[in-house]
Amino acid sequence: MSKFNKRFTLSIMVVFVFFLTSVFFLPPGGGAQEAGTIAPSGEMDRFIKSVSGTIELKTDTAVVMMERSYTVTEETIIQDRRGEEITLSRLPTPCEAEVKYQLKMDQDPLCLKIVVKKLKRKTRSINE
């Protein structure tokens, strides 16, 4: 096989791989979305994650777990060990918790839900 045929065959294979990648891994429309539109729930599910660990500290607008900051808003649901909703100021730190969050491009992840699983020694809330 000549050099030309090898290069031509390789070029065709590369184009074919890119085509297959775009067909199977990009959402319809190439992933682009108009400003102000809401993505279908199935499309956003890939950006929603969950992590369990120790919430080491908190601020008025965030919690820190495993050296990563997670933004907390008024819409964030926070539950104590009994399943009752509490405010961020009542969230005990440090504590073991499960955090459900949404990934945001170029921003800290957004907390959707925090569920306290276990209190740690020397636990305190911001009000104390």
d(CA 115, CA 16): 46
Predicted pLDDT of residue 12: 75
Contact 90, 60 (CB under 8 A): no
Closest CA to 63 of 27, 117, 114, 16: 114
Q: How confident is the model at residue 16 (pLDDT cuts 50, 70, 90)?
A: low
Residue 31 has pLDDT above 60, yes or no: no
Residue 37 has pLDDT above 60, yes or no: no
Give domain 41-124's CATH superfamily.
Copper binding periplasmic protein CusF (2.40.50.320)
Structure letter (DSSP) for residue 26: S
Q: What is the pLDDT of residues 51-108, one digit of tens each?
A: 999 999 999 999 999 999 999 999 999 999 999 999 999 999 999 999 999 998 899 9
- For the chain, the domains span 1-32, 41-124
CA atoms within 13 A on the CB side of 73: 8
Question: What tokens were used for 32?
Answer: 């682009």
Predicted pLDDT of residue 82: 94
Identify the residue with better confidence: 67 or 22: 67
Residue 36 has pLDDT above 50, yes or no: no
Its sign, for the CA torsion 86, 73, 47, 45, is: positive
Residue 41 has pLDDT above 60, yes or no: no
For range 34-40, the mean pLDDT: 45
